[in-house]
Amino acid sequence: MNTARLITHTPSPGAWNMAVDEALLQSAAVTGTITLRVYGWSEPTLSLGYFQPYRDREYHAPSRPCVVVRRATGGGAIVHDHEVTYSLTAPTDGRLKRRLDDWYRLVHETWIRTLAELGIAAHRCLQTDPQKEQQFLCFHRRSAGDLLLGSAKIGGSAQRRHAQAVLQHGSLILKRSVAAPELAGIAELSGRDLSDRAWLDGWVSSLGQALNVCWQSGELTDEETRRAEELERTKFGHLRWTQRR
């Protein structure tokens, strides 16, 4: 069983969150460290997918007041508010003994098992709906493997792959946001309020078993922090990146 690092961060600004995820991706390529990071957002934030035009955000009125960042991963826009967000970074040297495509399934299946223990019957989407692929918001789209509660999408993930490492990050909607009122969360769909997050330990343990890793709590290294600060300043916090399309 491999040892992997678990980082739990308090809610932070969007540009910093994206910078840390990319710094961890770069670190995994160099050091071979496997890291699961669980984090939140200090204010409602709209993250655009890598390929989305910036101007498209004007078509979604409820999220116009939100701070905007651009992710390094593809997919639709996400309103980050009342949710759990994670990132998983690892080298592509085979130590996880899983195909990269399996990561989506593993993470979402551990969400399903954890929610089932709370009496919430989530399930995976079986096939992509091509008619919804151009929807602005990610949670209006339907791709095979997405996490559903009834017919509503409550969880999704995206990957960015390098030659030596991979980043997967994703979100689980806990309850409705005023910045995306059309999207129900677990609270509205099941009547269960998971905002205390006490259930997260069970999910982290389940994911560790699925990946065959033993989590050890840790923090960013000095080099990762320095790199994240640089990426926040020069990339994710800069209009040149956010408005690049």
Catalytic site positions: 138
Cβ atoms of residues 172 and 71 within 8 Å: no
Cβ atoms of residues 76 and 52 within 8 Å: yes
Give residue for tokens 């979402």: 108
Nearest alpha-carbon partner for 182 in 153, 149, 150: 153
CB-CB neighbours of 61 under 10 Å: 9
* CA 144 – CA 3 distance, rounded (Å): 30
**Per-position DSSP letters for 68-126, written without gaps between them:** EEE-SS-S-BEEESSEEEEEEEEESSSTT-S-HHHHHHHHHHHHHHHHHHTT---EE--
* CA 206 – CA 119 distance, rounded (Å): 16
Nearest alpha-carbon partner for 151 in 187, 108, 183: 183
